[in-house]
Amino acid sequence: MKKYLILPKPVIIIVLCVLIFSSNACTTIHAYQVGGPQGREMGNQPGTEWESKRTNTFLWGAVRQDVQIKNCSLGDGSRLNIEEFKIEKNFGSILANILTLGIWEPAKISWRCAKPKN
């Protein structure tokens, strides 16, 4: 007869909650240019799709992982502006920040480039 490891119900519930909440954005900071087409906010027409990168910050920002944006340039080497960006943190990244007392803070940075000027 095989013995199975049976976990207490609270442990199973906590593990399931962490798995569920860690996949969705819990907090998002969204910055964009005001006054897109027809003067509507967030009505801007970006030149690229969303690009993303996960970053880590350590020791309360003393050691950080900067994001290098390489897709905002044309074929001739001229650079485009950034139309909008987002900083997203999910439940898991907030929990990691709390448990390490701010020593480690993961986040997801996303951006879209502006259309070239005509």
The pLDDT tens digits of the residues spanning 1-56 come to 666 667 677 777 787 766 665 556 677 777 776 665 455 555 566 777 888 899 89
Contact (Cβ atoms closer than 8 angstroms) between residue 27 and residue 98:
no
Are the CB atoms for 65 and 57 separated by under 8 Å?
Answer: yes
pLDDT in tens, 99-110: 888 899 888 888
CA distances from 80 to 29, 41, 50 (A): 22, 20, 15
Single-letter residue type at 116 = P
Supply the pLDDT for residue 24. 60
Residue 112 C-beta-side C-alpha neighbours within 13 Å = 17
Is pTM beyond 0.95 here? no
One-letter amino acid at 47 equals: G
